[in-house]
Structure 1
Amino acid sequence: MPAHTLDRTPALALLLARGALLSPFKKAALSNHRPDADLPGTRLVLPGVRIDLARLAAYERVCGFPVGDDSLPITYPHVLGFPLAMRLMTDRRFPLPLLGLVHTSVEIIRWRSLAANGTYELSVYVEELTPHRRGTEAAVQTEVREGEELVWESRSTYLARHRRGEPVSGAPPAGEEREALPRVAEWRLGEDIGRRYAAASGDRNPIHLYALTARLFGFRRAIAHGMWTAARCLAAHGTPRSALVRTDFRAPVLLPGTVEYGTDGFGSFELRGGGRVHLRGEVRRV
């Protein structure tokens, strides 16, 4: 895959505006979408990335990580790579509309700790599109290198819901209702969590900011960022130096609200509230 090297981090506000403008045209074309449609065939590379320590501290505070630690929280490289992912997902060749795109899962591998004062190279590419029983799912790969060494990587999936013109093989997943994990904590979430996380991460999607802007997209109230819920759980759970984390996002967290964090004390964790499972995840050593 050819690489395109950037000289600066893309501006997320401009990309959100571009994505909003292109979304109606992409949504109209989804009925003819094929899983083998063309994709942005470029890997975006951003070298020489250094950490803004003030922004990192704001992220640590809103997510519950220790502030001022020498190493980055396991989820923070996602924030660094997100503008590159957004540039690819707002490309005309990316067939899914940005508005309404749902983050369905993230898998992270941290091969070793990343120093907060380090210098890194980011690379992001769209790996594939796959049919989903509710539409089409895109997989986005993010990699972080220090020198030549791969130190962190992730694979995120994003779902565009639409009617498919052909059946998807395989039965839909069973409505599994396993026993809830032991409750460890109850968190009362203020209505400003989305705005605080947006300020720290740069992700100012309107569904996360205010009830009024969220209603424009079909939500009764603003919803928490999926990556905030994952980060908050991992801050409570803890992760080994070299770790694999898998999180499946199941239902949005409405703001304000109250949620319960549960864990089996080993590798599994979950977030519940109002009789719904918001996410399930696991952590293991690699």
Structure 2
Amino acid sequence: MSDRPPHSPGLLPSMVRGALASPFKRAVSAEAPLPADRLVRPGARVEPGRLRSYARVCGFGQAGSLPLTYPHVLGFPLAMRLMTARNFPLPVLGLVHTGIEIIQWRALPLDSRPELTVYAQELRPHRRGTEVVMVTEARLAGELVWESRSTYLARHSATPDGTVARTDGHDRTATAAATDTAAGTATTVNGTDAAADTDTAITATTATWELPAGLGRRYGAASGDRNPIHLSPLTAKLFGFPRAIAHGMWTAARCLAEAGTPDAVHVRIEFRAPVLLPGTVTFAAGDGHFAVRSRGRGPDAGERVHLTGVVTAPSVPRS
């Protein structure tokens, strides 16, 4: 176990390290060993100014507790540190954030200093490659009050010797560093398909969001995640996107802010397709399900699903 000081470790060094190391991780497998490291950040400090900016850009109102998604922001630098380490088996270039599961047993006060623990839980085969599950836990006075499981996919094809190699064609449309866009890939979260029921559970639009071109820069400044695919059309085109795309975790946070959630909650979200900026999307919610969709251009264009989610009561006991 590695202990880290209370200040944030920062994302830029990890992104650079990951970009440099990725070309040397060309063969991956669900049988590869995962590092056993658990990175711990005791007394994680919430910066009030950055929190206010985050709440504004994501649509969270005034409250006496942290937004449901904010512990992910606090823990993400630690996750990146693990995923860009030399002993992490998957290349971070092209790694796609396909889903997140969040369980909160009680809200974290605004002035809380949670202890964060981040570790890689498992590798598992996927029809399009290999997935890794990254866990973030938040504790107050030793009590587990919040946890998440993020699923990231390394896309590749099988090779004759049974290992798997990255498909370079996917790399051109993937991210610069462990990004949270689905690039059109749906997957499962904790073994359940959050999208399966959502597509048919809700049909009525409850909100329409006009997303400005600078949304990625605003969210990046508030969250610290300044991945180039979110910042401008020029930097996004370097990785195969026609325009900058919204952070998947912004889309998730915006949905939860719009829907509202109780203090004790279990959320499962799938990132299914990137949201291009600027753009217009619709939000629909009902019976514990929600989705973000958009219409393609032209009279015959169909509807595209960008995100689906399910909200239930938590059923896993605290530990």
* TM-score in terms of structure 2 length: 0.83
In 1, Cα distance between the equivalents of 2:310 and 2:201?
16
Quick one: distance in 2 between partners of 1:137 and 1:167?
A: 14
1:85-107 deviations in whole A, cap 9, x for unaligned? 00000011112121211110000
**Are residues 1:130 and 2:124 paired?**
yes
- Structure 1: which amino acid aligns with 2:263? R
Q: How big is each residue's C-alpha offset from its partner over 1:84-133, in whole Å with a ceiling of 9 and x where there is no partner?
A: 00000001111212121111000000110100101110000000111111
- Aligned residues with identical type, % of pairs: 58
Q: Is the 2:133–2:151 contact (alpha carbons within 8 Å) kept by the matching residues of 1? A: yes
Match of 1:66 among 52, 61, 66: 61
Specify the alignment match of 1:255 in structure 2: 277
Residue-by-residue CA offset, 1:223-255 (whole Å, 9 max, x unaligned):
111100000000000001100000011000000
Q: Is the 8 A contact 2:202 2:290 kept in 1?
A: no
Query: In the alignment, is residue 5 of structure 1 matched against residue 3 of structure 2?
Result: yes
Equivalent AA in structure 1 for residue 143 of structure 2? E
Q: Secondary structure at the match of 1:228?
A: helix
What is the deviation of 1:181? 2.4
The alignment status of 1:50 with 2:71, answered yes or no, reads: no
RMSD: 2.0
Report if aligned partners of 1:181, 1:269 keep a CA contact under 8 Å in 2: no
CA distance in 2, matches of 1:200, 1:122: 19
2:202–2:289: 8 Å Cα contact kept in structure 1?
no
CA contact (8 A) 2:201 2:289 kept: no
Q: CA deviation at 1:180?
A: 5.0
Q: Which runs of 5+ in 1 are unaligned?
A: none
> In terms of mean alpha carbon deviation, does 151-160 or 95-104 score higher?
95-104
Contact 2:90 2:154 in 1 (8 A): yes
- Report what 2:220 is aligned to: 198
Show the counterpart of 2:22: 23
What is the distance in 1 between the residues matched to 2:257 and 2:8?
Answer: 26
Distance 2:250 2:123 in 1: 25
Query: What is the CA-CA distance between 1:179 and the residue it aligns to?
Result: 6.7
Do the aligned partners of 1:139 and 1:156 also contact (CA within 8 Å) in 2? Answer: yes
Aligned pair in 2 of structure 1 residues 240, 179: CA closer, same or farther (>3 Å)?
closer
Q: Is the 8 A contact 1:44 1:84 kept in 2?
A: yes
Give 1:93's aligned amino acid. N
Matches of 1:105 and 1:159, distance apart in 2: 9
Aligned AA for 1:209? L
Match of 1:279 in 2: 307
What is the rounded CA distance, in whole Å, between the counterparts of 2:133 and 2:48 in structure 1?
30
Partner residue of 2:179?
Answer: none
Instruction: Please tell me the residue identity of whatever aligns with 1:271.
Output: V
Aligned to 2:110, what secondary structure does the other structure show?
A: coil
Secondary structure at the aligned position of 1:235 is classed as helix
Residue 285 of structure 1: CA displacement? 2.0
Q: Which amino acid aligns with 1:49?
A: A
**How far is 1:20 from its partner?**
1.0
Deviations 1:34-57 (A, max 9, x none): 212122211100101121011000
Q: Distance in 2 between matches of 1:229 and 1:273?
A: 13
Alpha-carbon distance between aligned partners in 2 of 1:34 and 1:114, rounded to the nearest angstrom = 37
The aligned amino acid for 2:3 is: T
How far off is 1:164 after superposition?
A: 2.2
Q: How many angstroms apart in 2 are the aligned matches of 1:135 and 1:114?
A: 36
CA distance in 2 between partners of 1:127 and 1:143 (Å)? 12
Structure-1 residue corresponding to 2:291: 270
Question: Is 1:76 paired with 2:70?
Answer: yes
Distance 1:142 1:179, change over 3 A: closer
Secondary structure at the residue paired with 1:161? strand
- AA partner of residue 269 (structure 1): F
Q: Which runs of 5+ in 2 are unaligned?
A: 165-186, 296-302, 315-319
Q: Under a length normalisation based on structure 1, what TM-score does the superposition of the two structures give?
A: 0.92
CA gap 1:237/1:179 in 2 versus in 1, 3 angstroms: closer
8 Å CA contact 1:40–1:91 kept in 2: the answer is: no
Displaced runs of 4 or more, over 4 A: 172-177
Deviations 1:174-199 (A, max 9, x none): 99764752100110000111110000
Letter in 2 for 1:192: G
Amino acid of the structure 2 residue aligned with 1:141 = V
Change (3 A) 1:271 1:167: farther
Preserved CA contact (<8 Å) 2:266 2:313: yes
Instruction: Report the equivalent of 2:86.
Output: 92
